[in-house]
Amino acid sequence: MTNSWTDIKNTDLAIIMGGNAAEAHPCGFKWVTEAKANRGARLIVVDPRYTRSAAVADYYAPIRQGTDIAFLLGLINWLMANNKVQWEYVKSFTNAPYLVQEGFGYQDGLFTGYDEVKRDYDRSTWNYELGPDGYVISDETLEHPRCVWSLLKQHVAQYTPELVSRITGTPKDKFLKVCEMVGECSAPDKTMTSMYALGWTQHSKGSQNIRTMAMIQLILGNIGVRGGGMNALRGHSNIQGLTDMGLMSNLLPGYLTLPFETEPTFEKYMSTRGYKPLRPDQTSYWQNYKSFFVSFQKSMWGAAATAENDWSYDWLPKLDVAYDIIRAFNLMFEGKVNGYVCQGFNPLLAFPNRAKCTAALSKLKFLVTIDPLQTETSRFWENHGPHNDVDTASIQTEVFQLPSTCFAEDDGSLTNSGRWLQWHWAASTPPGEAQRDTWILGQLFTRIRDLYRQEGGAFPDPIVNLNWSYEDPDYPTADELAKEINGSALEDLTDPADATKVTLAKGKQVPSFAALRDDGKTACGCWIYSGCFTEAGNQMARRDNADPDDTGIYSKWTWSWPVNRRILYNRASADVKGDPWDRTRKLLWWEGSKWTGFDVPDIAPTAKPGVVGPFIMNEEGTGRLFVRGMMRDGPFPVHYEPFEAPIANLIAPKIRGNPASRVFKYDWEQFGDVAEFPYVATSYRLTEHFHYWTKHAQINASLQPEFFVEIGEELAKEKNIPNGSWVRVWSKRGSVEAVALVTKRIRPMLCDGKVQHVIGMPLHWGFIGETKKGYGPNSLTPVVGDANSETPEFKAWLVNVEPITGPTPVA
Amino acid sequence: MTTFEYELPNPQTEDVKTVFGQQDLIRRSASTIEPPARQLTPMAKLIDVSKCIGCKACQAACLEWNDKRAPVGENVGTYTIPPDLSPQMFTLMRFTEWINPETDNLEWLIRKDGCMHCADPGCLKACPAPGAIVQYSNGIVDFDHERCIGCGYCVAGCPFNIPRISKTDHRAYKCTLCSDRMAIGQGPACAKSCPTHAIVFGTKAEMTEHAETRIKDLKSRGYQNAGLYDPPGVGGTHVMYVLQHADKPEIYADLPNNPVISPVVNLWKGAAKYAGLAAMAGMVAFGVLHRFVEGPNRVTPKDEEEAKQLTEDPRS
């Protein structure tokens, strides 16, 4: 989230698209309720199904899953054509005026530089035109044909309301009504909040789904303001923490990146991470990358990381390719992985194409699962009749199940969607043999280190030199880890102007990442979390819910990254001169000599208005309507159909799916076509359950006991499927049996003149737990990920359906 | 600027002295009682259907607080689960898919069903067991299971079809308005758990006033017939609804348009009740006779097994 849950109460219009907040985030959804009650805010829901969110919405519009970009580009087109633009914001705070270099182009769904064989782009033309001073050339009139605004206008022109309706199935009048409601928020004193979740991420163009709405929010002037923002509703209580801490195969903590093998030296690595400003006087905060990186290396390897050995740069793995989950399972499937440590994850239900997943796990020599609950993954080898019909005798994988603890049995912090690090205390002792994850990993590490110390091995240095200075090496505590993440001074830090003046004594916790150094005098485990556990104590444990002026900021409640800032880009809440756009919703303002307000300024406190742009992390200082080479699939979003789509892509009929998505050969062969699978399916969660956990809880199980699929009345009639009867649903990759819930909430849509039926499939059932045994949508879904994040396409695929007399009996 | 449309203080966590009890009864089934010395402030639960997202947190909280467990059943093609109220499940979200004929738009109406705590309670009037159903001056209608004889008359007497008879202990069960929580100054578990404040609790006057602000808001959103459901046919209720379409309550899973106590119950209140009581006294006499003639009934292993099967609580 750019903003926070509590800030949603400040909005005038909430748009839930690509998510179902009332269903999947009922506690957070209360802030929408507050906005409606306090401000008379309106709620729009755009979804293939009439959801629980739609049940309390002011306006609902249906959309065929996987066509959000067409809808949103059509919305941009409408905003531009109807002058619903926050002009001062767009001209001053976005890159709309900047010129794009000659040679950049777009045609028939593809940008310049596409390589069909590699399914990848040479992105060198996706760049600005730079002047002799190295700064990007800007046309404040927005009239130059190669300025970003002109190119965007040209790019979206084809997405007319008529074409949008043909692609998305959204009736034209409903699309236009949404345009009008959204367009009102271009007024400087009106804000819209975008609330989205996996309904946008779990597509082969998930990142661009989100980006398109981010562009709309820039055009409306809704980023950095109260009641605005791009608000990702995270699916686990700490999934934000997972990404922040770099638990992706290509990341280090704090969104630093692992080197590629093309970057064999530290010098080479840093050569592309200079982040020189692209406009005069801009902050370009990533210029401090080296301080963050060196402090991270010091945190990892302590005294062993020195200037002489380039801060142990050689000890970091160098990627040849990104080892995302899809690739990892493909390697496993090909028999190229021996062992898998699976911590807090249930891939047998959470990874697409379950048959492939089972085959992959069956090829392992060993599997270690670390989980507080029995997972299907840890029992993938066990035959459960039709629900897990494996030949146990043929599976040689040795499985070690390590029971761990639930959140209520451990101290620590959970980072919520709004970037709040909320400390919690153990309320209960772990049951049975369960151990905390830190104990399990501590024990594993010290044993592995001992083996390396005794036996050497191929490359012992990163292991034997790892900084592991916990009081009990076998059991690091949450406090110790949090302090390490915050960072500390390894030597006395002195004032740059006066070397005799000590600003932070050796051994003290750093107050924030501003104190981090690139000379090895500081250590910090995750720079964006720096400030969470300082000399003033554990900031995450703060529980003062004072909220002066009812802003929804709650700056003394826990701690938010970065530097306790609650709304990112908050300098943009004021106009160029520094006056708030909306005096009734003030956030930050210029007070003659400095920025002040309710939040921590997202700009140098004395940076004069009109000079430094509000988007300080960007080299431009502005928000990007056009992005240079950072997205793999294009500097502007383009409508691409899902890989399994019921109609051809109307703007580029020859392109299947996202042309920049990586697809493995086996998985491509597993794609189905509309002739065989005429219905579009989508997966989702239900309020009664939390993922695959609460099927273990009796009350949750009693409130939603059995796997079902949702089918519209029209299709049910056509197929002779009575409500509550049994059906079989199958795709190219698998088949499931389910109770049919026949509903008015899913209605067929008219897509390119063809009636399109949608089948909905919730995902909370497996073969272990208190609920009735069932299947998950992943038995059917295709293996293909978003071109940028590799998040699997769970939200749009093709199936067929037929009535059956009942479930296959369990032998 | 106020933050909340209705400020609900955090529930107390410390024990407080009992705020009401037997001395506050205004009615007691099949009995006559002295009018209480004081009149408690009438309380009410307000359920705003337009704010309800159907999350079932209220159902879960109800099961937790009352220490009941509903069986893991089947999905029969609805989100209304369990499919009906039961001796375990005192409250139930009833989901109705309704096409508004005026707009042709679908509306998903989600009504939290349960005891309405009528000012004029049909269950209590129908009940022949002395003291099995009581009514306090704050409006709570409560069942005393120890005194219940399982006759089911309360079910017939209820215009809302709420009480359910347990097949295990043959006693009637329904929502107590969390009388045990209220007795120590806390609100109902369902209201406490509701994430959107669709369920709020307070004095009936406050709740009525709060409902007015909600109705005003709904009218601003085009619900011209939004209104409060506090049906006069049962003397008003201490559980009230805000409905988007108050002119047609029946679209909300058959919420009665004008609920009244069955004329049969009113007849029962008269002469017939004494005849009935006489018949029941006869049954008691038979039981005593049976004890002397046949000896006490013994519980056989077969009886135990049958009782176990009848027990719907999966933990027992």
Interface mutation target, options B6, B47, B79, chain A, most CBs of A under 10 Å: B79
- Residue A754: pLDDT band with limits 50, 70, 90: very high
Check CB contact under 8 Å for B53 and A22: yes
The chain B residue lying nearest A30, using CA atoms, is B196
How many interface pairs between A and B have CB atoms less than 8 angstroms apart?
A: 136
Contact list in A for residue B314 (CB cut-off 8 A) is 698
Q: What is the mean pLDDT of residues A304-328?
A: 97
Contact list in A for residue B52 (CB cut-off 8 A) is 55-56
Whether A294 contacts A520, CB under 8 Å: yes
What is each CA distance from A18 to A209, A482, B13, B103, in whole angstroms?
9, 34, 39, 25
Kindly list the structural domains of chain A, giving each domain's residue range(s) and its CATH number in brackets, ordered by start: 247-319+467-531 (no CATH), 665-804 (2.40.40.20)
User: For position B186, what pLDDT does the model report?
Assistant: 86
N-to-C CA span, chain B = 52
Main-chain dihedrals φ then ψ at residue A44, nearest 5 degrees: -110, 135
- Interatomic CA distance for residues A655 and A633, integer angstroms: 13
Task: Give how far A124 is from chain B: nearest CA, Å.
Answer: 49
Task: Give how far A272 is from chain B: nearest CA, Å.
Answer: 48
Could you identify the residue written with the tokens 């909005």? Answer: A11
Contact list in B for residue A37 (CB cut-off 8 A) is 4-5, 217
DSSP B283: H
Per DSSP, the three-state class of A620 is coil
Q: What is the mean pLDDT of residues A438-445?
A: 96
Task: Give how far B99 is from chain A: nearest CA, Å.
Answer: 9
Query: Comparing A260 with A496, which gets the higher pLDDT?
Result: A260
- Interatomic CA distance for residues A752 and A646, integer angstroms: 10
Structure tokens at A431: 């049951």
- Interatomic CA distance for residues B210 and B206, integer angstroms: 6
- Interatomic CA distance for residues B119 and B314, integer angstroms: 36
Per DSSP, the three-state class of A492 is coil
Structure tokens at A17: 């698209």
- Interatomic CA distance for residues A258 and A151, integer angstroms: 34
Q: State pLDDT tens for residues B231-276.
A: 999 999 999 999 999 999 999 999 999 999 988 777 766 555 555 5
- Interatomic CA distance for residues A557 and A544, integer angstroms: 5
Mean residue pLDDT across chain A: 97
Contact list in B for residue A741 (CB cut-off 8 A) is 75, 77-79
Contacts of B137 (CB under 8 A, 6+ apart): B20, B24, B25, B26, B36, B38, B39, B40, B42
Tally of CA atoms within 13 A in the half-sphere of B218 that contains its CB: 22
Percent helix, percent strand, percent coil in chain B, to nearest 5: 30, 15, 50
Q: What is the mean pLDDT of residues A8-14?
A: 98
Contacts of B232 (CB under 8 A, 6+ apart): none
What is each CA distance from A45 to A175, A208, A568, B272, in whole angstroms?
12, 19, 25, 57
Whether B87 contacts B71, CB under 8 Å: no
The chain B residue lying nearest A552, using CA atoms, is B3
Contact list in A for residue B53 (CB cut-off 8 A) is 22-23, 26, 29, 52-53, 55-56, 687
Question: Which residues of chain B register pLDDT less than 50?
Answer: 1-12, 312-316
DSSP A543: B
- Residue A38: pLDDT band with limits 50, 70, 90: confident
- What angle in degrees, to the nearest 10, is found between the helix axes of A68-81 and A148-156? 120
Beta strands, E only, A261-310: none
Check CB contact under 8 Å for B55 and A702: no
Whether A128 contacts A136, CB under 8 Å: yes
Radius of gyration of chain A, Cα coordinates, nearest whole angstrom? 27
User: For position B11, what pLDDT does the model report?
Assistant: 47
Radius of gyration of chain B, Cα coordinates, nearest whole angstrom? 21
Interface mutation target, options A32, A703, A725, chain B, most CBs of B under 10 Å: A703
- Interatomic CA distance for residues B203 and B207, integer angstroms: 6
Structure tokens at A75: 């919305």
DSSP output for A55-101: HT-SEEE---TT-HHHHHHHHHHHHHHTT---HHHHHHHBSTTBBBP
User: For position B264, what pLDDT does the model report?
Assistant: 78
CB nearest A744 (choices: B5, B75, B99): B99
Interface mutation target, options A699, A700, A714, A739, chain B, most CBs of B under 10 Å: A699
User: For position A13, what pLDDT does the model report?
Assistant: 98
Q: State pLDDT tens for residues B297-308.
A: 566 666 666 666
Whole-number percent of chain A with pLDDT over 70: 100
Q: State pLDDT tens for residues A173-205.
A: 999 999 999 999 999 999 999 999 999 999 999
Residue B141 burial (C-beta neighbours within 10 Å; 0-12, 13-18, 19+):
buried
- Interatomic CA distance for residues A318 and A295, integer angstroms: 19
Check CB contact under 8 Å for A707 and B75: yes
- Interatomic CA distance for residues A698 and B59, integer angstroms: 13
Whole-number percent of chain A with pLDDT over 90: 98
Q: Is the pLDDT of residue A327 over 70?
A: yes
Could you identify the residue written with the tokens 């307070």? Answer: B202
Structure tokens at A487: 């960072």
- Interatomic CA distance for residues B303 and A785, integer angstroms: 59
User: For position B1, what pLDDT does the model report?
Assistant: 34
Main-chain dihedrals φ then ψ at residue A675, nearest 5 degrees: -60, -40
Per DSSP, the three-state class of A475 is coil
Q: Partners of A194 in the beta sheet?
A: A15, A230
CB nearest A30 (choices: B77, B78, B196): B196
- How crowded is residue A369: how many other Cβ atoms within 10 Å of its Cβ? 24
- Interatomic CA distance for residues A371 and A436, integer angstroms: 10
Q: Is the pLDDT of residue A435 over 60?
A: yes
- Interatomic CA distance for residues B198 and B46, integer angstroms: 8
Angle at A36 between CA A31 and CA A41, to 5 degrees: 110
Structure tokens at A92: 């001053």
Strands A522-523 and A488-489, sheet pairing: antiparallel
Does an H or E element contain A716, and which?
helix A713-719
Residue A511 burial (C-beta neighbours within 10 Å; 0-12, 13-18, 19+):
middle
User: For position B184, what pLDDT does the model report?
Assistant: 82
Could you identify the residue written with the tokens 């707009």? Answer: B103
Q: Is the dihedral of CA A137, A142, A147, A148 positive or negative?
A: positive
- Interatomic CA distance for residues A19 and A36, integer angstroms: 19
Contacts of A25 (CB under 8 A, 6+ apart): A19, A197, A233, A417
Q: State pLDDT tens for residues A447-486.
A: 999 999 999 999 999 999 999 999 999 999 999 999 999 9
- Among candidates A72, A73, A82, A9, which has minimal Cα distance to A43? A9
DSSP output for B172-227: EE----SHHHHTTT---HHHHH-TTS-EEEEEHHHHHHHHHHHHHHHHHTT-TT-E
- Interatomic CA distance for residues B190 and B66, integer angstroms: 11
Structure tokens at A201: 């991420």
Q: State pLDDT tens for residues A86-104.
A: 999 999 999 999 999 999 9
Q: What is the mean pLDDT of residues A111-136?
A: 97
- Interatomic CA distance for residues A697 and B312, integer angstroms: 17
Check CB contact under 8 Å for A55 and B5: no
- Interatomic CA distance for residues B187 and B184, integer angstroms: 9
Check CB contact under 8 Å for A705 and B74: yes
- Interatomic CA distance for residues A372 and A404, integer angstroms: 4
Q: Is the pLDDT of residue A383 over 60?
A: yes
CB nearest B217 (choices: A37, A547, A745): A37
Query: Comparing A38 with A607, which gets the higher pLDDT?
Result: A607
- Interatomic CA distance for residues A34 and A462, integer angstroms: 51
